[in-house]
């Protein structure tokens, strides 16, 4: 790395002076990505949120389906018990 220093002194008519020092360093210029990394990160975050939403909807759908199947099975069980009770009552009436 090379450094250059330059001093300029100005003399004015009233006798005053002004000195300017210029220092130049040979440093490679930093280049940024122009924000593309942030854009890609934001897009990935949005995709993750949307994907999570659809997964949650699928889970909720499966839960609703399982609840409906469970309720239907309970209804069938209750109906079978009612039929069994009615058959028992009819048998008891015939036996009397």
Write out the chain's pLDDT in tens, 96 residues. Answer: 678 888 999 999 998 999 999 888 887 777 766 778 888 989 999 999 999 998 888 888 888 888 888 899 998 988 889 888 888 888 888 876
> Which position has the token pair 């975050």?
45
94 burial class (0-12, 13-18, 19+ CB within 10 angstroms)?
A: exposed
Which residues are 3's β-sheet partners? 25
Residues in Cβ contact with 20 at an 8 Å cutoff, skipping those fewer than 6 apart: 7, 8, 9, 10
Q: Which pLDDT score is estimated for 33?
A: 65
Distance CA 92, CA 31 (A): 95
């Amino acid at each position: 790395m090379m450094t250059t220093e330059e001093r300029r002194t100005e003399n004015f008519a009233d006798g005053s002076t002004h000195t300017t020092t210029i220092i130049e360093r040979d440093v490679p210029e930093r280049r940024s990505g122009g924000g593309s990394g942030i854009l890609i990160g934001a897009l990935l975050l949005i995709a993750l949120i949307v994907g999570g939403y659809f997964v949650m909807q699928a889970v909720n759908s499966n839960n609703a389906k399982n609840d409906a199947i469970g309720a239907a099975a309970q209804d069938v069980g209750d109906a079978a018990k009612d039929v069994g009770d009615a058959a028992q009552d009819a048998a008891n009436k015939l036996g009397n």
